[in-house]
Amino acid sequence: DTGVSQDPRHKITKRGQNVTFRCDPISEHNRLYWYRQTLGQGPEFLTYFQNEAQLEKSRLLSDRFSAERPKGSFSTLEIQRTEQGDSAMYLCASSLQGGLQETQYFGPGTRLLVL
Amino acid sequence: AQSVTQLGSHVSVSEGALVLLRCNYSSSVPPYLFWYVQYPNQGLQLLLKYTSAATLVKGINGFEAEFKKSETSFHLTKPSAHMSDAAEYFCASGGGADGLTFGKGTHLIIQP
């Protein structure tokens, strides 16, 4: 069990550019979540996958945000036409399906800075 | 909709003193409650979770929390603070397809 990993850890981009982040969950976990954390706030839920199916995406912040999990393993989060307000920490978490009391394990996050 | 309120954005205690971090929840159904800790530039680590099996929940690093339905609270405590406890602490509720709903966090400062 190597934990949840995220790549890159840091990303600096210019406004208007597209960025893509990758998350590798714990290998046997079938559920994967993306959150955004802005300075001084708790993480904010964005989207959720069970295996390769994206079962919740209404909380994605705008249509510039999209996520995929093509083979039910790793996931990517893409932000198109980045804006300065997108600057934040993007966290990925994974869990093994087991009811609402299941534990989500978080990765170290990708910190995005949009100039 | 679920919500979580953490009272006090910053809490300062002396090393060796009692730590008390407050969390109140709002839920129309039995809640699933969690405490996570976040060290600088790191992800979140689970301290403990309430699963309705017991109202007093013990977690890692000497932390525990008590679920009080009458007060809709799930406060986090530790009898004796250590310098290594300095971090950001988040209370959260929910899970599954709705994701977790987090409070705004409490920054714990340990005075030597």
pLDDT of amino acid B29: 66
Q: Provide the CA A113 distance to its chain's centre, in angstroms.
A: 16
Contact call for B95 and A101, based on CB within 8 A: yes
Name the B residues in 69-108 with CB < 8 Å from any A CB: 90, 92, 94-105
pLDDT at A1: 55
Shortest Cα distance from B50 to chain A (angstroms)? 8
pLDDT for the residue numbered B51: 80
Per-residue pLDDT of chain A (115 residues; tens, 9 = 90+): 579 999 999 999 999 999 999 999 999 899 999 999 998 899 999 999 998 888 877 888 889 999 999 888 999 999 999 999 999 999 999 998 775 568 899 999 999 999 9
Q: Are B38 and B87 in contact (CB under 8 A)?
A: yes
The confidence score (pLDDT) of residue A101 equals 64
pLDDT value of position A99: 59
| pLDDT value at residue B28 | 64
Q: Does B42 touch chain A (CB under 8 A)?
A: yes
Beta bridge partners of B68: B73
Q: How many helices (H) and strands (E) does chain B have?
A: 0, 11
Determine, for residues B92 and A42 on separate chains, whether the beta-carbon distance falls below 8 Å.
Answer: yes
B84 closest CA partner among B60, B48, B57: B60
Token look-up 């509720």 returns: B93
| Contacts with A103 from chain B: Cβ below 8 Å | 34, 46, 49
Judge: A91–B43 Cβ closer than 8 Å, yes or no: yes
Contacts 24+ apart (CB under 8 A), A12-15: A12/A112, A12/A113, A12/A115, A13/A82, A13/A112, A13/A113, A13/A114, A13/A115, A14/A82, A14/A114, A14/A115, A15/A82, A15/A83, A15/A84, A15/A114, A15/A115
Nearest CA in chain B to A56: B97
Task: Write phi, then psi, for B69 (nearest 5 degrees).
Answer: -65, -40
Instruction: Please tell me the predicted confidence (pLDDT) of residue A72.
Output: 84
**Nearest-10 Cα torsion for A23, A27, A31, A35:** -30
Q: What is the pLDDT of residue A102?
A: 82
Contact A40 B105 (CB under 8 A): yes
Give A14→chain B minimum CA distance, Å: 22
CB contact under 8 A, A4 and B43: yes
Regions of chain B where pLDDT drops below 70? 1, 28-30
**Residue B71 has what DSSP assignment?**
G
**Minimal CA separation from B60 to chain A, in Å:** 14
B86 class by beta-carbon count within 10 Å (0-12 exposed, 13-18 middle, 19+ buried) = middle
